[in-house]
């Protein structure tokens, strides 16, 4: 894992059909959306031009992945498969996420101040949902700063449903 963390980066996604304009995705927001203060970004994968496009569906199990290291030659030959299996397996209790993981070679990232960034064309971003507690007024000017670069992006703001334990998404006019 140490070697993998020195050469790979992972981006996690949920299955696209989990996303609805009115939905029960509150738990996902709680875990990954900074308690509804963050954003959710929709991507168009056809517009992503990264060579190491290793997108894999996560497997869920109650058992940890084990790899036989008694035969060093076998470990070397199956290293990539082993990495993919380890990086693509998660505890069964997380199965509701229907997660996909994108494994990217660090060499394809831009590095700034010890942070790794993936260079994406603006057309790869299709939609941004702002959480219920996200301060939209601080983000919209950043998107508009570069003229028409992100004019195609649909912007939505989540709000708590009046009667259900769910969220609603209202399109923003900006």
pLDDT band at 123 (very low <50, low <70, confident <90, very high): confident
Q: Which residues pair with 169 in a beta bridge?
A: 158
- Give pLDDT, residue 90: 93
- Yes or no: say if 100 and 53 are a contact pair by the CB < 8 Å rule: no
Q: Report pLDDT for 31.
A: 80
Over the stretch 15-37, which tens digit does the pLDDT of each residue have? 766 665 556 677 778 888 888 88
Closest CA to 103 of 85, 90, 91: 85
Determine the Cα–Cα distance for residues 47 and 155; give it in Å rounded to an integer: 19
Give pLDDT tens digits for 37-87: 888 888 877 777 666 657 888 999 999 887 776 777 666 667 777 777 888
- Those residues whose C-beta lies under 8 Å from the C-beta of residue 71, and which sit 6 or more positions away, are none
Domain ranges of the chain: 2-171
Tokens representing residue 34 in the block: 């900074």
Q: Which tokens go with 154?
A: 């649909």
Confidence class of residue 116 from pLDDT cuts 50, 70 and 90? confident
User: Which alpha helices (H) appear in the chain, and where do they start and end?
Assistant: 2-7, 26-32, 72-77, 79-87, 140-144
């Amino acid at each position: 894992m140490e070697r993998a963390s020195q050469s790979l980066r992972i981006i996690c996604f949920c299955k696209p059909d989990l996303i609805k304009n009115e939905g029960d995705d509150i738990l996902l927001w709680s875990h990954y959306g900074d308690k509804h203060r963050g954003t959710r970004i929709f991507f168009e994968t056809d517009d992503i031009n990264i060579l190491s496009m290793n997108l894999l569906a996560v497997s869920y199990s109650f058992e940890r992945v084990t790899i036989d290291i008694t035969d060093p030659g076998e470990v070397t030959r199956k290293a990539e498969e082993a990495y993919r299996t380890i990086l693509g397996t998660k505890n069964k209790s997380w199965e509701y996420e229907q997660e996909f993981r994108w494994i990217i070679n660090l060499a394809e990232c831009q590095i700034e101040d010890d942070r790794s960034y993936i260079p994406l064309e603006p057309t790869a971003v299709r939609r941004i949902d702002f959480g219920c507690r996200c301060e939209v007024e601080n983000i919209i000017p950043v998107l508009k700063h570069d003229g028409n670069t992100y004019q195609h992006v649909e912007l939505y703001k989540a709000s708590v449903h009046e009667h259900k334990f769910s969220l609603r998404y209202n399109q923003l006019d900006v």
